[in-house]
A and B are shown apart, each in its own frame.
Chain A
Amino acid sequence: EAGVAQSPRYKIIEKRQSVAFWCNPISGHATLYWYQQILGQGPKLLIQFQNNGVVDDSQLPKDRFSAERLKGVDSTLKIQPAKLEDSAVYLCASSLGGGSYEQYFGPGTRLTVT
């Protein structure tokens, strides 16, 4: 069974530039999550999708972050414009949903904003 795929693995940009991350969840998983993990901290949920609808985006900085999940499968997370404090690892995870809390994580994208 293929795992959660993410790309790119690493990205370096200057502040005020834009960046996009891509995630392909495990086939059949209805729920998709984007997390931000700052060095030395645990993952913080940015947005949760159930199929192609948003369940929770309460911690997503909507003035600069956006996310979409077209057709309920792949998802993209965008930052525009980036700030220095956005430097972090962005993790994508998926689960079956419907009360299944077990989440499967991708390898993450390490973003450095200079």
Chain B
Amino acid sequence: AQSVTQPDIHITVSEGASLELRCNYSYGATPYLFWYVQSPGQGLQLLLKYFSGDTLVQGIKGFEAEFKRSQSSFNLRKPSVHWSDAAEYFCAVGASTDKLIFGTGTRLQVFP
């Protein structure tokens, strides 16, 4: 069965520092992979997605993610974090019939 693991529950970084959020998936075929962000009291907003092709995908707000099949990973990165990036980040994998399986999320805290 498909599953997603986000090993880091909570990450704290300083504003301006680089960021990497980890995501590992379990899926038999080539996966469809997503990163969503959820600000407090808000719904989820799509940051980026991978369906096929170039394994480095660019998203909104300066985020990027790299698909590594050999490691079953889809880590999210940003070279310089802004205070407004503080939020909850969810990785998801596409399952059958247009469903998404979400990880448990990583809470990002940004210090000035």
Which residue numbers of A lie inside 8 Å of B, CB to CB? 4, 31, 33, 40-45, 48, 55-56, 91, 93, 95, 97-108, 110
Mask for B86-108, Cβ within 8 A of A = 1, else 0? 00001010100111101111000
Bound CA–CA A35/B46 (angstroms):
16
Which chain B residues lie closer than 8 Å to A102 at the CB level? 34, 46, 49
| Interface size of B as a range | 20 to 34
Which residue numbers of B lie inside 8 Å of A, CB to CB? 4, 32, 34, 36, 41-46, 49, 90, 92, 94, 97-100, 102-105
Q: Output the least CB separation between A101 and chain B (Å).
A: 4
Bound CA–CA A99/B99 (angstroms):
9
Bound CA–CA A40/B6 (angstroms):
12
Bound CA–CA A41/B6 (angstroms):
11
Across the interface, do A56 and B99 meet the contact criterion of CB distance under 8 Å? Answer: yes
Given known A41-B104, A91-B44, contact A101–B90 (CB-CB < 8 A)? no
Given known A41-B105, A48-B98, contact A101–B44 (CB-CB < 8 A)? no
Across the interface, do B97 and A55 meet the contact criterion of CB distance under 8 Å? Answer: yes
Bound CA–CA A91/B42 (angstroms):
10
Across the interface, do A101 and B103 meet the contact criterion of CB distance under 8 Å? Answer: no
Q: Output the least CB separation between B20 and chain A (Å).
A: 19
Across the interface, do B105 and A101 meet the contact criterion of CB distance under 8 Å? Answer: no
Which chain A residues lie closer than 8 Å to B46 at the CB level? 102-104
Across the interface, do B43 and A105 meet the contact criterion of CB distance under 8 Å? Answer: yes
